[in-house]
Amino acid sequence: MAVGVQQAIVVGAGVSGLTSALCLAEAGWSVRVWTAAMPQQTTSAVAGAVWGPSAIEPVAKTLAWTERSLHEFRNLAKDPDTGVRLAPALSVAESPADGGMPPGVELIPDLRPADAADLPEGFRVGFRATMPMIDMPQYLDYLTKRLAAAGSEIELHPVRSLAEAADAAPMVINCTGLGARELAGDDTMRPRFGQHVVLTNPGLEQLFIELANPSEWTCYFPHPQRVVCGGISIPDRWDTTPDPEVTDRILQDCRRIEPRLTEAAVIETITGLRPDRPSVRVAAEQLGRARCIHNYGHGGDGVTLSWGCAREVARIANGDQ
């Protein structure tokens, strides 16, 4: 590492780690990324993924981070090589939500009611919008390349403690997702199991999300080469073995909504554990002589929050107000 340049180690190479590393490296820091799993083997690679606001704690901050990420994803969508695209979206519900619209909906670009005639059978409410949709394997490759161009490499280097990283650099960024349960001694971290069935794309452009049911719903995200179909969420399940019954249910529901998926071939079934926490943790603490900035606990919203949280990490690291 060059003398005089501020040095940091980012632990974790999912979307939080790569984006945090990038924000620091592009701000002139000398950054190394240490990880137990390379980007394509992380939970981040499993995500659908769509940008979208949700009211997770701390709500005022997460909405500001969501807005920040929207700005970044809109710019990234100008270059198809990033894997980010601004996609037409249809979200539907069986009935109007109790208590009106959730916080943050005003951030969603082009949000408007859908014509009742366009809704699939069984749904009485629908919205159209334009939403950033992120093809995660391609996007993680893009971030990796951009990080390399900024002078940072990703090293396969699992750590037993954050102190191990603190021995090697005066600034440690903890982006270990569920790994923070052990590394930060944070037993509020819990897994939330998810499963996707990935199909070939028969020519779909519009993403589809069923709102309302927090444990099982229907969604599909059509990327150029594949359609990612879901969804399911099982709290406290650590086992990542795909469930064949869930696969069948996802296929049946998605094909009912979009009959063109009946002709699409199944490529693979993928699973991941959302790194849940009662509130997202982006905060600094002293770690011996080093400083540690935590950036974990994003649950089902880590892609949405990634740029906002990473910019916050860089702001704290740079001591900016």
Nearer residue to ligand FAD within complex by CB, 4 or 308: 308
Query: Does 298 engage in binding with ligand FAD (CB under 6 A)?
Result: yes
Please report which residue ranges of 126-265 form alpha helices under DSSP H: 136-149, 162-166, 180-183, 244-257
Question: Segment near ligand FAD (CB under 6 A), from 137-145, 245-253, 260-268, 299-307?
Answer: 299-307
Among 8, 9, 10, 16, interactor with ligand FAD by CB under 6 A = 16
Q: Which of residues 40-59 bind ligand FAD (CB under 6 A)?
A: 42-44, 46-50
C-alpha to C-alpha distance for 318 and 26, rounded to whole angstroms: 12
Query: Does 235 engage in binding with ligand FAD (CB under 6 A)?
Result: no
CB-CB neighbours of 148 under 10 Å: 12
CB-CB neighbours of 173 under 10 Å: 34
Under 8 Å CB-to-CB from 259, ≥6 apart: which residues? none
Query: Does 13 engage in binding with ligand FAD (CB under 6 A)?
Result: yes
CB of 251 to ligand FAD, least distance (A): 15
Which residues, in sequence order, are bridge partners of residue 119?
Answer: none
Residue 50 is given by DSSP the state: B
CB of 208 to ligand FAD, least distance (A): 12
Residue 299 marked ligand-binding: yes
Which residues, in sequence order, are bridge partners of residue 194?
Answer: 272
Q: Which of residues 17-36 bind ligand FAD (CB under 6 A)?
A: 17, 34-36
State both tokens at 240.
């990542």
Query: Does 70 engage in binding with ligand FAD (CB under 6 A)?
Result: no
Query: Does 302 engage in binding with ligand FAD (CB under 6 A)?
Result: yes
Which residues, in sequence order, are bridge partners of residue 172?
Answer: 9, 292
Per-residue DSSP letters for 260-321?
Answer: GGGGSPEEEEEEEEEEE-SB-EEEEEEETTEEEEEEE--GGGHHHHHHHHHHHHHHHHTT--
CB of 37 to ligand FAD, least distance (A): 3
Query: Does 159 engage in binding with ligand FAD (CB under 6 A)?
Result: yes
Among 9, 10, 11, 310, interactor with ligand FAD by CB under 6 A = 11
Residue 200 marked ligand-binding: no
Among 12, 83, 126, 222, interactor with ligand FAD by CB under 6 A = 12
End-to-end, the C-alpha distance of the chain in Å comes to 27
Residue 32 marked ligand-binding: no
C-alpha to C-alpha distance for 75 and 84, rounded to whole angstroms: 9
Query: Does 179 engage in binding with ligand FAD (CB under 6 A)?
Result: yes
C-alpha to C-alpha distance for 295 and 306, rounded to whole angstroms: 9
Q: Which among 56, 15, 49, 104 has a CA at the least distance from the CA of 307?
A: 15
Question: Segment near ligand FAD (CB under 6 A), from 103-111, 119-127, 257-265, 294-302?
Answer: 294-302
Kindly state the number of chain residues that form the binding site for ligand FAD, as judged by CB under 6 A: 40
Q: What is the CA radius of gyration of the chain?
A: 20
For the annotated binding site for D-dopa, the residues are 274, 300
For the annotated binding site for FAD, the residues are 43-44, 159, 176, 299-304
Q: What is the contact surface with ligand FAD in residues (CB under 6 A)?
A: 11-17, 34-37, 42-44, 46-50, 158-159, 175-177, 179, 183, 194, 196, 230, 272, 274-275, 296, 298-304
For the annotated binding site, the residues are 43-44, 159, 176, 274, 299-304
